[in-house]
């Protein structure tokens, strides 16, 4: 499972396309797109939705083993793709300003993406079937136990940071709606 890097290459390609679109907006408007205007809001909303899908859809699929919503490997690739492209779009939404709660949210987002790369590395060290089940006996039992412990430790860090990202993002969205929309 995850033998190739297809999801990483697709994410990289998507980010190149998004960067091209962003660059076009910069050239046409002669400024970095403000986070509070149409393009800035749009890219931020799409990025947040991708991040939200990253967290919720993959987690739902992991917890519902009875339902056959596709292979876990495909869902993990989706999780990695959206977990890279969504944060990249949110980074572009910032207009390169990292103040206040939005800056904290951005910092949490960068940490969760880096943590995801670490988790992906640990995950690929454990041999699995296409359905995501661990294959016993291919590694020495001690190496397999060590990889499982590392993955469990990683989960205890990655998941709470992911929750912090979404709490700060929801507060940011609420504050942005309140101050930029409702008070006008």
For residue 134, list its beta bridge partners. Answer: 128
Write out the chain's pLDDT in tens, 184 residues: 445 688 889 999 999 999 999 999 999 999 999 887 889 889 999 999 998 888 888 777 777 767 677 777 788 888 889 989 999 999 999 888 888 877 888 888 888 888 887 887 777 666 655 555 556 655 566 787 777 788 788 888 888 888 888 898 899 888 888 887 776 6
pLDDT of amino acid 118:
82
* Domain membership flag for residue 153: yes
Q: How far apart are CA 80 and CA 115, in angstroms?
A: 12
- One DSSP character per residue, 56-113 reads HHHHHHHH-SSS--S-HHHHHHHHHHHHHHHHHHHHHHTTT---HHHHHHHHHHHHHH
Q: Is 137 left (phi over 0), alpha (psi -120 to 50) or beta?
A: left
* Domain membership flag for residue 155: yes
In the three-class reduction of DSSP (H, G, I as helix; E, B as strand; rest coil), residue 80 is classed as helix
* Domain membership flag for residue 173: yes
* Domain membership flag for residue 1: no
* Domain membership flag for residue 11: yes
Q: Structural domain tally of the chain?
A: 1
| 168 and 102 Cβ atoms separated by less than 8 Å | no
* Domain membership flag for residue 126: yes
Task: Please give the residue range of the domain that contains residue 14.
Answer: 6-182
* Domain membership flag for residue 27: yes
């Amino acid at each position: 499972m995850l033998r190739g890097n297809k999801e990483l290459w697709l994410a990289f390609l998507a980010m190149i396309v998004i960067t091209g679109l962003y660059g076009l907006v910069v050239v046409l408007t002669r400024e970095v797109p403000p986070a509070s205007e149409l393009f800035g809001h749009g890219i931020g909303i799409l990025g947040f939705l991708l991040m939200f899908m990253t967290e919720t859809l993959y987690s739902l699929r992991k917890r519902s083993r009875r339902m056959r919503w596709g292979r876990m490997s495909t869902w993990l690739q989706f999780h990695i793709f959206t977990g890279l492209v969504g944060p990249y779009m949110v980074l572009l939404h910032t207009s390169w300003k990292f103040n206040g709660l939005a800056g904290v949210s951005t910092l949490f987002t960068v940490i969760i993406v880096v943590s995801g790369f670490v988790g992906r590395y640990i995950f690929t060290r454990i041999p699995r079937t296409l359905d995501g089940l661990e294959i016993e006996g291919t590694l020495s039992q001690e190496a397999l136990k060590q990889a499982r412990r590392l993955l469990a430790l990683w989960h205890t860090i990655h998941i709470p940071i992911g929750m912090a990202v979404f709490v700060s993002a929801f507060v940011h969205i609420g504050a942005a709606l309140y101050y930029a929309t409702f008070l006008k």
